[in-house]
């Protein structure tokens, strides 16, 4: 694989970041994951807008101009002949002696790599996911897409160790997100219910697109908090992310959702999302 680090395209074995990079010492870095289908980037402008917002919240400048950044994406896809998978981008504040005080003048580090993987035809899309619930103990600025992902990683690992696929996190019983995706339900009236945007969840690019497509297709959408109990009695449940697209959730804490099989509305939203993304 060829990766990109600070102006250079390198074989992955030759690419490195300093141990003094603040990404390593403080997770002082933001990232984006965008899907690639048929060799093309999905929802690129929205990912770049969110990147700009994350960077602004942390006061990290984007080290290259937006046109150059798009060129880097295209060049990396070309060099790796990527047709289906993801492209990962990370901007960290850069290197400085270890100090909790953020350095004024660091040179940001920019890293990109690709990962080939099937996104369109997956077992999860066909069979749906089984999840368990856990209290959301992440920090309070989940709207900033930082590389501080340890709690999410712990919960994903715990879920797999428990024999299921993922977690749905909650605060006082109200669902926030899954470990690396947004969580949604469809109730008995056919209404898509999803938690409203705030600092408590990542402002998912896929979430935004799916809400638009759902509304366009005549589906009613309600942005409000919903409880785990409501989710367990919902007709359908699903997650959204750049790499999962729309993926059904068929079980929460051992309770089957609806029929316990991927529901028709979720499948329709997945098809619609894929259709509009390619």
Active site residues: 145
The least distance separating ligand PDD from the CB of residue 166, rounded to whole angstroms, comes to: 11
Q: Kindly give, in sequence order, each residue whose CB lies less than 8 Å from that of residue 251, ignoring residues fewer than 6 positions away.
A: 128, 129, 130, 131, 164, 257, 260
Q: What is the largest CA-CA distance in the chain?
A: 57
Read off the tokens for 112.
């990109």
Spell 221-245 as b/e; 16+ CB within 10 A means b.
Answer: eeeebbebeebbebbbbbbbbbbbb
Measured from the CB atom, is 106 or 202 closer to ligand PDD?
202
Q: Kindly give, in sequence order, each residue whose CB lies less than 8 Å from that of residue 212, ignoring residues fewer than 6 positions away.
A: none
The least distance separating ligand PDD from the CB of residue 14, rounded to whole angstroms, comes to: 25
The least distance separating ligand PDD from the CB of residue 278, rounded to whole angstroms, comes to: 16
Measured from the CB atom, is 96 or 180 closer to ligand PDD?
180
* Phi then psi dihedrals of residue 271, to 5 deg: -60, -45
Q: Kindly give, in sequence order, each residue whose CB lies less than 8 Å from that of residue 124, ignoring residues fewer than 6 positions away.
A: 165, 244, 247
Q: Rounded CA gap, 38 and 161, in Å? A: 34
Measured from the CB atom, is 95 or 152 closer to ligand PDD?
152
The least distance separating ligand PDD from the CB of residue 157, rounded to whole angstroms, comes to: 15
Beta strand pairing call for 255-256 and 129-135: unpaired
Measured from the CB atom, is 35 or 95 closer to ligand PDD?
35
The least distance separating ligand PDD from the CB of residue 160, rounded to whole angstroms, comes to: 16
Binding site for ligand PDD (CB under 6 A): 33, 177, 180-182, 202, 204-207, 240-243
């Amino acid at each position: 694989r060829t990766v990109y680090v600070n102006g250079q395209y390198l074989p992955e074995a030759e690419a490195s970041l300093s141990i003094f990079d603040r990404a390593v010492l403080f997770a002082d870095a933001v990232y984006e994951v965008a899907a690639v289908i048929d060799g093309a980037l999905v929802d690129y402008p929205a990912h770049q807008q969110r990147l700009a917002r994350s960077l602004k919240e942390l006061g990290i400048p984007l080290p290259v101009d937006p046109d150059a950044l798009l060129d880097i994406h295209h060049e990396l896809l070309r060099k790796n002949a990527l047709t289906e998978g993801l492209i990962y981008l990370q901007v960290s504040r850069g290197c400085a002696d270890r100090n909790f005080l953020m350095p004024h003048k660091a040179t940001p580090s920019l890293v990109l790599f690709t990962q080939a993987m099937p996104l369109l035809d997956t077992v999860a899309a066909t069979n749906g996911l089984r999840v368990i619930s856990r209290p959301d103990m992440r920090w309070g600025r989940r709207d900033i897409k930082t590389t501080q992902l340890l709690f999410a990683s712990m919960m994903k690992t715990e879920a797999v160790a428990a024999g299921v696929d993922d977690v749905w996190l909650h605060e006082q019983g109200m669902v926030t997100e899954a470990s690396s995706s947004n969580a949604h339900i469809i109730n008995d009236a056919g209404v898509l219910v999803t938690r409203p945007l705030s600092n408590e969840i990542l402002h998912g690019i896929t979430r935004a697109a799916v809400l638009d497509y759902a509304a366009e297709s005549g589906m009613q959408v309600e942005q409000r908090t919903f409880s785990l109990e409501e989710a367990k009695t919902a007709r359908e449940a699903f997650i959204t992310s750049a790499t999962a697209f729309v993926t059904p959730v068929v079980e929460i804490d051992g309770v089957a959702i609806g029929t316990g099989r991927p529901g028709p509305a979720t499948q329709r939203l997945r098809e619609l999302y894929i259709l509009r993304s390619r």
